[in-house]
Structures are given as C-alpha cells and as structure tokens.
Amino acid sequence: MLDYNFTEEQELFRESMREFCTKEIAPRSEKLEGLHEMPAEIVKTLANFELLGMPVDPDYGGLEADAVTMGIAVEELARADPNCSIPVFFLVENSWSHVLNKYGTDQAKQEILPKVVSGERFLGIASTESDVGSDLGSMKTKIRKSENGYVVNGEKMYISGISEALAFGGGHVTLARMTEDLGTRGMNLFYLPLDASGISTTLIGEMGRDGISFGGFNIDNVEIPAHYLIGEENKGFYIIHEGYELARGLIGLVCAGTALKSLENGMAYIKERKAFGKPIGKYEGIQFKLAEHYVKMQALRDLSYKALWTYDQEAQGKASRFDVSMAMAMAKSVASEWAFAAINDVMQWQGAFGYSTECPDQKALRGVRSFSLAEGSAEIMKLIIARELLGKEFLAYR
Ligand SMILES: Cc1cc2nc3c(=O)[nH]c(=O)nc-3n(C[C@H](O)[C@H](O)[C@H](O)COP(=O)(O)OP(=O)(O)OC[C@H]3O[C@@H](n4cnc5c(N)ncnc54)[C@H](O)[C@@H]3O)c2cc1C
C-alpha cells in the first residue's frame, strides 16, 4: 500500500524541530559569516536537542534513529541555516557515527560514540586525497599491520571538519590501502584521531559553508590501535559506501530545504516589489520560473525521502544495497544543480539586493554549490544510476 504520510511521531518531531530551529538555529546561523569553524556553543545546542549521533545505539548514548527521521531534522536545519554549515555538521556526524556504530569494535564505540553524542568529540570522513577523489581505487594512503595495531602513511585533502576535530577532540573515519594488488578490495576503514602523533593539518578557504572548516592532513607513520579498525580488513571500500549513501539522501534534503526556504523569500519579495506599475510576481516570466523550481524541489524532496526510506527498508532486510545505491544516487544527482538554479533565480528576482551580501540567498547559493562534489560528485551519481540500469559490464572503467 502506498502511503505518503509521515508517522504521527515524525510529524511531532518536525514541529519540534521547526520551533527549535526558529529559536536556536536561525539566530546563530547569522553569526557564522566568515568564521569557517563550527562554534562549540552551536555543537552543544545540537547535542542538547539530541541531534548528534542520532543513529547510535542507546548503549552508547544514541537514539537508534531511522534515516527518515534524520532527514526531517536536516531539512529543518537547512531552512534555518542558509549557508548549509550546520546541516553539513549534522549530516557528517550522523552518517559516520552510523558507520562506526554498525561496524566498529565495542572498545572503539565505548570510547568514541558517547562523546560524539554529547558534542565533545567530532567525527568526520576522510577518503579524498590531492590526486584522488572519485577514483578511490587509485588511493595512495597506505595502512600496514604493526605489533600493536596498524601504521598509516599518506595524506588526505579537501576534508570537512579539520578545525573542529582539533578544537573538540575527535577525528575522521579514514580509508587507506592495505593490500596493494587488490584495488578497491584491499582497503581498510579505521578511526584516525587528528591529535595522533605524526599528523599535521592544513586549512583551505572555500566559497561557501561559512561555519565549518575545510582542509587536509599529512599522515606520517601514525600508529593506531587495532581496535580502531572499522569492519573487517580489506572491506573498507564497501563499508564506506554505507556512510556515503546515508549522507547523499540527507544532502538531497539539505538542498531541497535550503532552496524551498529561498523560494519562500523570493515569493514574499515578488509580491511586494513593483516594476512598470505592477508587482513583479504578476509577470509570467517570473511565475513560470517559480512554478518550475517549486516542482523540482518537491520532486527532490520526494526522491530524497524515498531514498532514506529505502535505507531504512534495507536495515530491515526489505531492500537490497543496490536499491539503496540507486535511490540515493538519483536524489543526489540533481540536488545541487536544481537547488542552485532555483536560488539563483530567487537572487535575480531581488535585483541588485539579491547580489549584495545583505541577501541571505547568496549564502544559500554558495552553500548548495558544495554538494555537486561533496560525498560523491553529480557525475559519479549518474555513473551509479547508469550502472544499475545497464549492468556492471557497462562500467567504462572496468
Ligand atoms: C565542500 C566540500 C567538502 C568535502 N568534504 C569532504 C570530506 O569531508 N571528506 C572527504 O573525504 N572528501 C570531501 N570532499 C571531497 C569530495 O568527496 C571530492 O571533491 C569528490 O569526491 C570529487 O573528487 P575530486 O575533487 O578529486 O574530483 P575528481 O575525482 O578528480 O573529478 C574531477 C571532475 O571529473 C568528474 N569525473 C570523474 N570521473 C568521471 C567519470 N568517470 N565520468 C565523468 N566525470 C567524471 C568529477 O565528477 C569531477 O567533476 C569535499 C569536497 C567539497 C567540495
């Protein structure tokens, strides 16, 4: 039976999120401009509302929340923080705490997850390197066994949450090559604390996401204990996709939430602003664009919630990993591009004011642009969709 309704519990959660975001997130979002680091006070605010480590087992302090509920939370956060950094902080922490919760050792979970939930430790993701992003099979960072665990050498670049991991403590779920000849079948996933001896960090400027840091780190003979391995040896490439996929569905809703809020700003403006004797909202040239963007944003919302619902179905054994990959890729393949186009038109409707730094929509434009790359580029999403449609034998890189 097809049912498009959220449960009563989910509706109540949305209402409480809307109230929380209006009172606690929107005023704080305004102060993020130019900061490029998430203030500890915002992290505490998120933690107090039980928004960090949501999918984590109650044994480690979490709520065991489903993916759709996390989608509701991130959509509301996106409406309140146009530059997308608070939603990004939320989705990174939740996607990677989910992976650690599902595949980590009990010792690592005891040590790390309760602190992620309480906002005392950051947990990000580090797979990208200066020379390798989409093509993870060509990764150069290496991990080898040592007497007490593992030793890692290499570098990671274009990583979110560098300053946060240094400021609050914490680190990144990291991917490195373990077995040389096995390609993607020879990679390990592990937790890498950024305060480990042998790590040196750098920061990079970015065009949007004013409230989160972005940078990289060198890894020089860094020793990590055996219990930081996440999942089995040589299975890292497969496990990492569970985090990326959850993040992709959540990103769909960040883009939809941000752009729908922008369209609301735009509607208020075009009803008031007059040109040639009439409110500009009366002109077809503006109305048609509004209608087209609204339809696309509702389609994106539906694709994203369906993808997150499929993720939850898979957890109950009612959908396959391929169903999940396809649904997530479909949502993310259009998310950034459609949201960017909608916000860009909202800016255009506002004339010169739309281009000024006073206008919140320009922050939204810069924020959603990041998602055409972060957590898998739009082009890679299309490769995944085509792989599911045509079969693996049509993969160009095989
Ligand atoms: C704001 C931001 C935050 C990020 N945060 C993180 C993070 O926290 N952790 C992390 O590990 N990474 C992070 N990344 C990196 C991100 O995952 C990579 O940028 C992304 O995977 C693409 O890799 P790349 O930049 O190396 O581009 P490349 O892989 O070099 O690709 C370059 C271009 O070619 C296209 N392309 C590549 N292969 C194909 C193909 N077969 N067919 C068609 N087109 C193709 C790509 O889509 C892209 O447009 C972040 C990136 C951004 C922009």
What is the pLDDT averaged over residues 365-394?
Answer: 97
List pLDDT tens digits, range 115-155: 999 999 999 999 999 999 999 999 999 999 999 999 999 99
3 in a structural domain: no
- Specify whether 135 is located in the same domain as 223: yes
Q: How far is the CA of 214 from the centre of ligand 1 (A)?
A: 14
- 104 and 136 assigned to the same domain: no
Is there an atom of ligand 1 within 6 Å of 386 CB? Answer: no
Instruction: Kindly give the pairing relationship between strand 170-177 and strand 122-126.
Output: parallel
pTM, to two decimals: 0.98
Nearest residue (CA) to ligand 1, atom 35: 379
* Percent over 90 (pLDDT), the chain: 97
The tens digit of pLDDT for each residue in 264-321 reads 999 999 999 999 999 999 999 999 999 999 999 999 999 999 999 999 999 999 999 9
Average pLDDT in the 227-242 region? 97
**Do 243 and 363 sit in the same domain of this protein?**
yes
Indicate which residue's Cα is closest to atom 41 of ligand 1: 380
356 located within any domain = yes
Are residues 215 and 300 both part of a single domain?
no
Instruction: With CA atoms as reference, report the closest residue to 196 among 224, 176, 217.
Output: 224
Tell me how far apart the alpha carbons of residues 157 and 214 are, in angstroms, rounded to a whole number: 9
Q: Please give the distance, rounded to the nearest whole angstrom, from the Cα atom of residue 135 to the centre of ligand 1.
A: 9
pLDDT of residue 189: 98
* Protein residue whose Cα sits closest to atom 16 of ligand 1: 374
Q: Is the dihedral of CA 205, 206, 207, 211 positive or negative?
A: negative
pLDDT value for 149: 97
What is the distance in A from the centroid of ligand 1 to the CA of 379? 9
* Residues 143 and 288 placed together within one structural domain of the fold: no
- Can you give the CATH number for the domain in which 297 is found? 1.20.140.10
Percent of the chain scored above 70 by pLDDT?
A: 100
Predicted confidence (pLDDT) per residue in 144-201, tens digit: 999 999 999 999 999 999 999 999 899 999 999 999 989 899 999 999 999 999 999 9
Give domain status of residue 171, yes or no. yes
Structurally, the chain folds into a number of domains equal to 3
Whether 210 and 280 map to the same domain: the answer is no
Q: Are residues 248 and 369 in the same domain?
A: yes
Residue 285 C-alpha to ligand 1 middle, in angstroms? 35
pLDDT at 396 over 90: no
16 is a domain residue: yes
Q: What is the CATH number for 76?
A: 1.10.540.10
384: tokens are 């995944």
Residue 379 CB less than 6 A away from ligand 1: yes
Average pLDDT, the chain: 97
pLDDT of residue 1: 63
Residues 106 and 127 in one domain: no
362 lines ligand 1 (CB under 6 A): no
Ligand 1 pocket check for 370: Cβ under 6 Å = yes
What pLDDT score does 397 carry?
76
137 Cβ below 6 A of ligand 1 = no
Are residues 248 and 222 part of one domain? no
- Same domain, residue pair 117 and 187: no
- Using the predicted structure, report yes or no on whether residue 205 has a pLDDT greater than 90: yes
The last residue of a domain, from among 215, 230, 245: 230
CATH of the domain at 130: 2.40.110.10
Ligand 1 atom having least distance to the Cα of 377:
47
In-domain check, residue 2: no
Q: What is the distance in A from the centroid of ligand 1 to the CA of 377?
A: 5
**Cβ of 26 below 6 Å from ligand 1:** no
Examine the domain organization and report whether 62 and 24 are in the same domain. yes
> Residue 127: CB within 6 Å of ligand 1?
yes
**Ligand 1 near 337 CB (within 6 A):** no
Q: Output the pLDDT for position 358.
A: 94
- Its domain, for residue 100, covers 8-121
What is the CA(133)–ligand 1 centre distance, in A?
A: 5
Q: Is 215 close to ligand 1, i.e. is its CB under 6 Å away?
A: no
Which domain-ending residue is among 209, 230, 251?
A: 230
Do 41 and 74 sit in the same domain of this protein? Answer: yes
Tell me the pLDDT tens digit for each residue of 45-93.
999 999 999 999 999 999 999 999 999 999 999 999 999 999 999 999 9
Q: Is 230 helix (H, G, I), strand (E, B) or coil?
A: strand
126, 175 Cβ separation under 8 angstroms: yes
Atom 45 of ligand 1, residue of closest alpha carbon: 379
> Which of 28, 27, 87, 82 is CA-nearest to residue 367?
82
pLDDT of residue 3: 84
Token pair belonging to 12: 């109540």
Residue 1 lies in a domain: no
CA atoms 256, 297, 325, 15: torsion sign: positive
Does the beta carbon of 10 sit less than 6 angstroms from any atom of ligand 1? Answer: no
pLDDT at 395: 86
pLDDT at 4: 86
